[in-house]
Amino acid sequence: MTWQGLNADVENWNVTTPVAKSDKGVVAAQHRFAAQAGAAMLDKGGNAIDAIVATAYALNAVEPWMCGIGGSGFMVVWLAKEKRAVALDFQGTLPMDIDLADYPPDPDLPPTPMGFPTVVDNANVEGYKSITVPGAVAGLNHALEKFGTLSLPTTLDPAIRLAEQGVALDWFSMLQISLCSRVLARDPVSSDIYLPAGHPAIAEHVLNIPKLADTLKEIAVTGTEGFYRGALAKRIVSDLQAGGSRISLADLASYEVQEFEPMEAQHRGHTLYTCGDTSGGLRQREMLAHTMENMPTPPTDPTPDTWVAYGEALDACWKAHKIRNGVITEQGACTSSMSSVDADGNMVALTYTLLNRFGSGVTLPSTGMLMNDSVSYFDPRPGYPTTMEGGKRINSSNMCPTVAVKDGEAVFSVGASGGNLIMPAVTQVAALMMDFGMDIEQAVHHPRIDASFSGIVRADPRLGVDVLNALSKKWKLEVSQLLVYPKLYACVSGVSRDPKSGICAGVNDPSQPIGGAAGSAPFKLPYIGDDKTIVRA
């Protein structure tokens, strides 16, 4: 079979997303308002760590369905002055009193997105029993305290202002809510917020999340101590236990961030830093090594053989991962990824998540926190390495925040959301920059493939007929256009810095209509008037 006449099966539009450039630093994120919140920290004289923390907190108010203080994740930081990288694991943990009896498998339900049995009432995927101890506040505050320069109240200010104003709903927000209406309807608080009158909140209205702004204000004052051991912790646990969770005050109080030396991968003079075995980092290192073996000297521009080499490398690293892991990893999960860089060359890649879109579907009534459903990372059956066990930490993820360094200078950082799609997308964007000298804008916009040792390779038709024909000779080929939904190639955010000129650039994936990047500038609340009507820019 040859791939001709593709236009018959392709939508008649194509989009790009603008790149932001500045010599004072840039932030890229899956929501442009959050990127602007982070960039405002650069304008205040803060560094890339201040910027990423402000961005991550702001996402609670503008992209709550993907991540937030009820979630967990990974971060990689490049400290320019010290010329060293640091990784943070702030993944969630199971409550010490977790009981397998609460999760009886239901043979009539399909497996979870992680490949484990789904249990009665979807309790490991939806509702209070699906929630792990959230690590996000501990992780973000740890980074700020150790490596940032601004205060916690300063970095939280844009998030608080956005939460007080409310979310200006657009069609993309409506899509996210509609996709999860069934799960949101199970929780009375989430239903009141996102499904007023029993229907998804509609565009061109303002959506308010009660108590969220107050919770962010309390975090700004009491910090990590208040969230995990103070009055806020008591309200969180009271809500959780009232809903059936076994998370206790002791579980919150004992939570710890893991700081460690990141995993390194070498590729064409670059050193790539990731969070290692428990992230997508090991697969990334294996893919790049396989690519070097099959393509020791890249051509001037990508050729059909390039994409075959990338496909073989993806298959090889996924095969090794599946042998090591023994289970299917998450498919189509929802996450948020962001990157930042400052004028001094500090650089950060951060990915954090509620796991599935809207996580557990639970909004805690006393705090406005939307909670994760990360219990589904664990097997409800006894006797497996991944079996649920009290205090066990999430130890396998596709998240792959990456910082690349060359000649002692950070040159780009990149991450993505999208479950199984994350590592292939992140590594291809990185490879296109290192193998072919593309800049961050070119690499993020370049069409990609996806492969995970399934016998199938998915390919963007923009790669062209010659590439598709070459791929189809080796794999069953799924030709799929880059779309807003479903996202078939992950959603990438990245920044770069030219060490010679000092020019920083940032860009978000064109499949994310609310995403964007921002250079250093004061923060301004967007698009909503004092009377809570939508104001056109």
With a cut of 70, say whether residue 388 has pLDDT above it: yes
Task: Report the pLDDT value the prediction gives residue 537, as an integer from 0 to 100.
Answer: 37
Q: How far apart are CA 340 and CA 337, in angstroms?
A: 11
Task: Report the pLDDT value the prediction gives residue 5, as an integer from 0 to 100.
Answer: 46
At 5, which helix (H) or strand (E)? none
**Architecture of domain 44-166+208-519 in CATH?**
4-Layer Sandwich (3.60)
At 531, which helix (H) or strand (E)? none
At 377, which helix (H) or strand (E)? none
Domain boundaries along the sequence of the chain? 44-166+208-519
Task: Report the pLDDT value the prediction gives residue 487, as an integer from 0 to 100.
Answer: 87
With a cut of 90, say whether residue 347 has pLDDT above it: yes
Q: Across residues 31-59, what is the average pLDDT?
A: 98
With a cut of 50, say whether residue 413 has pLDDT above it: yes
SS (H, E, C) 396-411: CCCCCCEEEEECCEEE
Kindly state the percentage of the chain with pLDDT values over 90.
82
Q: Quick one: tokens of 232?
A: 């806020």
The half-sphere exposure of 163 on its side-chain side, counting CA atoms within 13 A, is: 24
With a cut of 60, say whether residue 529 has pLDDT above it: no
The overall average pLDDT reported for the chain is 93
Task: Report the pLDDT value the prediction gives residue 109, as an integer from 0 to 100.
Answer: 85
**Cβ-based neighbours of 132, under 8 Å, separated by 6 or more:** 72, 92, 93, 94, 95, 247, 372, 374, 375, 377, 394
Task: Report the pLDDT value the prediction gives residue 396, as an integer from 0 to 100.
Answer: 81
Categorize the per-residue pLDDT at 147 as very low, low, confident or very high, splitting at 50, 70 and 90.
very high
Q: Across residues 234-256, what is the average pLDDT?
A: 98
Categorize the per-residue pLDDT at 536 as very low, low, confident or very high, splitting at 50, 70 and 90.
very low
